[in-house]
Structure formats: structure tokens, C-alpha cells
Amino acid sequence: MAANASPSTEFLEELYASYPRPRDRQPSPYAVKVQKANECLPTTKELPPEFQLDKDPLRRTFTKPKRLFYGFGLDYADCIQYHKEQQLPRPPSAKRPFSLTEIIHHVADRLRVLSDFHELDIFAPYATEYDLMLYLYDSYTFKFRELTDKDEEEVIRILKEELPYLKGQTPRWFLPIVQL
């Protein structure tokens, strides 16, 4: 341990270094299953009827559609690097098992404030190419919370400035790792 480093700092540095990007990992045995599940996702921002909530009270056979999330893919390494570069608050105790979760929440909080879009959040997708998704909307509230085109472009511009790893991406729909 370095002379100035506390055990907490050393643990955090170890945490920063321990999350490779998915492209640097071994292929998942579930990749085919995940890829097949994601084939049903819309390829444009518009949601097909099968993913929209239809609460028509006259229908007796209401089936809740799958909830989708619209945004960008992120890796743990992206969040950790951003947290470190921006010198965001360190978790109270870096040795706790939820340190990574706290780091991700700090990143999401900062991005919400900078973009002035408080619906923004980070969640785990059902995907093999990313660990996380930074999402703007979900399919259940999309109709009511969708930003104007100008505001959405501004939010996306800010996100891409803050997280350069997003520059090569356009927003897309993701399945969550668990249906809420």
C-alpha cells in the first residue's frame, strides 16, 4: 500500500481496475439466448402497439406488455472511469459490497443534474454487449414523458459530451435484466 493511500482508497483503486469492458471478456454461454430475446425489440424510437400499455377498461384479457427502456449502453468500466475523472464522492466505505452500486448512483445523479432531465437513470439490460443502460424513457411512460425533439437532442448532446463512450451510439430500446 502506498504511503498516502488509505485502505479505502486502495480498495477503490482495485475496484476501478477490476471491471473490464464486455468486449474484453470471454463470450457468454447465454449470448445466443439474449440475442434471440432482443430480436423482438423495435429498431426505431416509435413503439409498436404490442409494447404500449393499453388500459382499455372494456377489455377483460389485459396482458401487460414487456417493459422496454430507451437509451444508451454503458459498461461498469465507463461508470467507474467517469466517477474517477469527475472526482465524484467516494462511497462511505469502499469495502462494502455495494460500492459499485453507489458509484453508479453518483454517476446517474450527476448526469441528471447536468442534463436537467431528472427521469434519466441507469439500469441493467438484458444484453451481452453492455453491463448497463443509461435510459431516457421506458415504454410504460414514454407517451407522457417524451421530450420535444429539441430538448432530447440537447440532453443527448450533454450525455455524449460527458460520456465520450456514447459518441458512436444512437439511442435504442433495451430489455431490462428483470421485468419490473
pLDDT tens readout for residues 16-59: 666 656 656 666 677 777 777 778 888 889 888 888 876 665 56
Predicted TM-score of the model (pTM): 0.79
What gap in Å lies between CA 143 and CA 139, rounded to an integer?
8
Low-confidence winner among 1-5, 112-116, 117-121, 144-148 (lowest mean pLDDT): 1-5
What gap in Å lies between CA 27 and CA 91, rounded to an integer?
31
Low-confidence winner among 13-17, 105-109, 144-148, 159-163 (lowest mean pLDDT): 13-17
Contact (CB, 8 A) for 76 and 131: yes
What gap in Å lies between CA 83 and CA 110, rounded to an integer?
10
What gap in Å lies between CA 132 and CA 140, rounded to an integer?
20
* Predicted pLDDT at 38: 78
